[in-house]
Structure 1
């Protein structure tokens, strides 16, 4: 008898009633405004990054050319050409960043002052040695330069290319 009563009780049970699933949509308009504002800020940040990336294309190109010049400076037979190309890449970088009328005519002390003025971290002294001394020496003297001097020149040029400040 107990078994039939237990069976009857089990048969009379109903399934558990579950509530409707909760919607992921925000219940108030404030959340929609907040999501919209975040999306606009992300879009503006992405646009700003893209413009900055495109504006710095000349830096990336100059740094790629600097790798080739660095290899030339390592070998004594091509060191003179590397020294000349190092000065050239600095001038080309400046021409890409500033108006031509401000940079193209600079030479000697004016060019050194320009590099010092727009220097980000004080590497202009090493570049001054390049522009004042090494560019005008003969191939024999430049070929005898110690490799650490050439390394310092490349490091100073790399720092100037990476860190020079261009007014907006």
Structure 2
């Protein structure tokens, strides 16, 4: 034994042997302790599910618009030359009619032409701001365009812009 160490106390030795290690409390749960938080989480999940359902439904309902806009972009890209412009402008009325047939009943749209067709386009333009000359093209385009009557590039751009505005902005009445 070391002379500098105090003698061991038997009572102290017995007490040290009876001591237990420190026990830690269980970890704190990350789940909310009250039902209010669970109800709020459930409500948030329901709201997000409803928002996703509405977004998906609206996206499915407007698929015809995306398809029509893609077809319109293809027509515009091929309108660089006079022959391409003539071909694109000749195909444009059919694209607009096909777009309208995707939404409105066939009986209401298929037989329209001339002023009746223009009136239909104007009535259902919704938020589209189309100048009257844009509508005038659609009144006569089915019969007017011939190989010797190719509209200039500026006119073609205005007609394509009017078609794009109508496709993007027309309003479908329930």
Distance across 2 between alignment mates of 1:105 and 1:155 = 25
Which of 129, 140, 147 is residue 139 of structure 1 equivalent to?
147
Cα pair 1:62 1:89 within 8 Å, conserved: yes
| Structure 1, unaligned runs of 5 or more | 6-11
Distance 1:149 1:19, change over 3 A: same
CA shift digits 1:65-96 (9 cap, x unpaired): 11121133321013222112111100000000
Contact kept, 8 Å, 1:70 with 1:82, in 2: the verdict is yes
Match in the other structure for 1:70: 76
Separation in 1, partners of 2:119, 2:131:
9
Task: Structure 2 unaligned segments of length 5 or more: list them.
Answer: 7-15
Which residue, 126, 130, 149 being the options, matches 2:137? 130
Structure with higher helix content: 1
CA RMSD of aligned residues (A): 2.4
Compare CA radii of gyration and give the structure with the larger one: 2
Q: TM-score, structure 1 length as denominator?
A: 0.82
Q: Which residue of 1 is the match for residue 107 of structure 2?
A: 101
User: What is the total number of aligned residue pairs between the two structures?
Assistant: 158
